[in-house]
């Protein structure tokens, strides 16, 4: 086997490449990165796709008839021939011309990747994670410059004062953008302890949005443990990042409105629960009260009296019948019967009397017992009502006062310092709530040195 020198090897490879039909008239599509224009007028750059890259050189002559200025991140179609740079032993493309990859080509690439990822189940609903209702720390992957992050901050300040956001600054277009997003996602998932992530950028051309259509970003988003909200471009723009994310927001501002509820809604909600509980409790008390009253009128109590008086009545009838039968008997049997009659009379009367005394005592005991029970119940009820009133923050309100709270923060207001002219406050009155705006503030000292009744109107 003949031993070659390096230059012989490289020359051989150059010859092989030059005889290959395809490599001699190439058209290659990819993204420009690391482009450098030398004083010589030659332009060296790398052409890459999501998995590979190759180096290219466009000599001065070819550069002059380009109809655009190539810059990093642009998607282009390069035509030329492949060769080996013999000194360096490096495979490269000698570029004759470069043309911008039209929207059509970019879109075709987008559709192709989207369908492939869809088939692999990356967009499946079951993979979508739940967005937390009230995230404590929100991670935002976007550019620090530009209006997007400023809009999000202002929207969140209006909706939910006291939010916490951690921004992961990335470039949102150009060749390094996709990789920066992937790094940010990894960082967020490893250390930054966020509860939700928003990946967002403003509107742009399909080329500007390409990083969000890259496979590397798609894979990174789907691998994220933390739920991801994607808000890329205008409402009408759909990127692969949107499809693979756990929630797509039409725009970055919409994402801000989705990620946190309005704090004033939460506070009103709590107020609603408090009032609901109070009304229900008062209702339960009223029910108990009426049950008690109802109990006292129940026939079984009155019946007690009824049973006793009917028993007494029966006794009267018996004694009357006894009397009359005895008189009938004694009419025809003189002395013996008279004595017998006497004894019967005395013993039955004593029985009758004894019975009625017992019954009388029973009735009184029943009555006493009942009233004792009733007063016990009433006492218990009054004690509980008192406890309720003590608890009820609005008790004061019922006695004609009002309770104020700041609509935004929900804090109770007790002094002028907490107020400013134009501040929105919520007034709690006995029969409802009123929202108002402060018109004028009169501190105590001002009032004191004014004469009575001459308050400035």
Interatomic CA distance for residues 44 and 85, integer angstroms: 13
By CB under 8 A, name the one of 17, 66, 153, 425 that touches another protein.
153
CB of 216 to another protein, least distance (A): 17
Within residues 218-277, the interface with another protein by CB under 8 A covers 225-227, 263, 266-267, 269-271, 273-274, 276-277
One of 281, 322, 352, 425 touching another protein (CB under 8 A): 281
Q: Which helix (H) or strand (E) holds 33?
A: strand 26-37
Among the listed ranges 3-11, 78-86, 211-219, 382-390, the one in contact with another protein (CB under 8 A) is 382-390
Is residue 295 a contact residue for another protein (CB under 8 A)?
no
165 vs 218 by CB, closer to another protein: 165
Tell me if 154 contacts another protein by CB under 8 A: yes
The total of other beta-carbon atoms located within 10 Å of residue 54's CB is 16
The least CB distance from residue 234 to another protein, in Å, is 22
Residue among 43 and 168 whose Cβ is closer to another protein: 168
Our measurement of the distance from residue 200's CA atom to the centroid of its chain's CA atoms, rounded to an integer in Å, reads: 21
| Segment contacting another protein by CB under 8 A, of 105-113, 142-150, 247-255, 345-353 | 142-150
Using CB under 8 A as the binding rule, whether residue 278 contacts another protein is answered as yes
391 lies in the site for another protein, by CB under 8 A: yes
Helix (H/G/I), strand (E/B), else coil: 82 = strand
| Residue 311 touches another protein, criterion: CB under 8 A | no
Query: DSSP letter at 412?
Result: B
**Total chain residues near another protein (CB under 8 A):** 60
As to burial, measured by CB atoms within 10 angstroms (0-12 exposed, 13-18 middle, 19+ buried), residue 67 is exposed
Minimum distance of another protein from residue 278's CB (angstroms) = 7
The helix (run of H) or strand (run of E) holding residue 16 is: helix 6-19
Binding of another protein by 293 (CB under 8 A): no
Q: Of 202, 25, 7, give the one whose Cα is nearest residue 97.
A: 25
For 410, phi then psi, to 5°, come to 80, 0
Tell me whether residue 286 or residue 455 sits nearer to another protein (CB atom). 286
Given 37, 66, 94, 187, the residue binding another protein (CB under 8 A): 187
Secondary element (H or E) of residue 145 = none
Chain positions 34 to 73 lying near another protein, rule: CB under 8 A, are: none
Tokens of 16: 């092989």
Other beta carbons less than 10 A from residue 433's beta carbon: 14
Residues 433 and 361: their CA atoms lie apart, in Å, by 59
Is residue 422 involved in binding another protein (CB under 8 A)? no
Part of the chain binding another protein (CB under 8 A), chosen from 29-37, 95-103, 231-239, 405-413? 405-413
Distance in Å, CB of 238 to another protein, minimum: 25
144 binds another protein (CB under 8 A): yes
Query: For residues 174 and 19, what is the distance between their CA atoms, to the nearest angstrom?
Result: 36
Residue 74, both tokens: 């642009």
**Sheet strand arrangement including 196-201:** 138-142, 196-201, 228-232, 247-248
Nearest one of 294, 268, 260, 25 to 164, comparing CA atoms:
260
Q: Tokens in use for 383?
A: 């004690």
In the block, tokens 């009659």 appear at 341
Cβ closest to another protein, residue 21 vs residue 273: 273
According to DSSP, the residues that pair with 33 across neighbouring strands are 46
Binding string, 193-212, against another protein, x = CB under 8 A?
--x-----------------
Least distance from another protein to the Cβ atom of residue 167, Å:
4
Residues lying near another protein in the complex (CB under 8 A) are found at 129-130, 132-137, 139, 144, 149-150, 153-154, 157, 161-169, 183, 187-188, 191-192, 195, 225-227, 263, 266-267, 269-271, 273-274, 276-278, 280-281, 283-285, 287-288, 381, 384, 387-388, 391, 393, 409-411
């Amino acid at each position: 086997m003949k031993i070659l020198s390096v230059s012989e090897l490289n020359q051989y490879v150059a010859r092989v490449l030059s005889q290959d039909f395809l490599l001699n008239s190439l058209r290659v599509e990819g993204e420009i990165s690391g482009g450098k224009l030398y004083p010589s007028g030659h332009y060296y750059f790398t052409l890459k796709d999501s998995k590979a890259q190759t180096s290219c050189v466009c000599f001065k002559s070819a550069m002059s008839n380009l109809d655009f200025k190539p810059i990093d991140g642009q998607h282009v179609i390069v035509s030329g021939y492949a060769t080996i740079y013999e000194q360096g032993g490096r495979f490269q493309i000698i570029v004759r011309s470069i043309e911008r990859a039209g929207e059509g080509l970019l879109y075709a690439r987008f559709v192709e990747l989207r369908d492939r990822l869809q088939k692999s189940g990356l967009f499946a609903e079951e993979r979508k994670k739940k967005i937390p209702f009230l995230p404590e720390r929100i991670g935002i992957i976007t550019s620090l410059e530009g209006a997007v992050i400023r809009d999000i901050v202002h929207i969140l300040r209006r909706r939910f004062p006291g939010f916490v956001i951690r921004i992961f600054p990335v470039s949102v277009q150009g060749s390094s953008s996709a990789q920066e997003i992937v790094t940010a996602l990894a960082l967020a998932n490893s250390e930054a302890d966020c509860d939700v992530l928003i990946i967002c950028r403003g509107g742009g051309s399909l080329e500007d949005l390409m990083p969000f259509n890259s496979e590397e970003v798609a894979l990174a988003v789907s691998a994220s443990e933390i739920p991801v909200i994607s808000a890329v471009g205008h409402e009408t723009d759909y990127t692969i990042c949107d499809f693979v994310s756990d929630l797509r927001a039409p725009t970055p501002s919409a994402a801000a409105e989705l990620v946190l509820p309005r704090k004033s809604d939460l506070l009103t909600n709590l107020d609603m629960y408090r009032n609901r509980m109070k009304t229900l409790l008062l209702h339960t008390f009223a029910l108990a009260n009426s049950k008690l009253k109802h109990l006292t009128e129940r026939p079984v109590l009155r019946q007690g009296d009824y049973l006793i008086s009917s028993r007494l009545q029966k006794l009267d009838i018996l004694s009357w019948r006894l009397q009359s039968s005895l008189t009938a008997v004694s009419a025809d049997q003189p002395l013996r019967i008279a004595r017998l009659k006497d004894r019967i009379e005395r013993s039955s009367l004593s029985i009758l009397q004894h019975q009625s005394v017992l019954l009388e005592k029973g009735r009184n005991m029943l009555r006493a017992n009942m009233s004792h029970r009733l007063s016990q119940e009433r006492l218990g009820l009054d004690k509980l009502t008192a406890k309720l009133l003590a608890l009820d923050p609005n008790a004061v309100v019922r006695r004609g006062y009002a309770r104020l709270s700041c609509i935004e923060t929900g804090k109770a207001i007790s002094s002028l310092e907490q107020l400013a002219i134009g501040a929105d406050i919520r007034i709690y009155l006995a029969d409802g709530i009123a929202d108002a705006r402060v018109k004028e503030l009169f501190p105590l000292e001002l009032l004191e040195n004014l004469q009575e009744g001459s308050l400035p109107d």
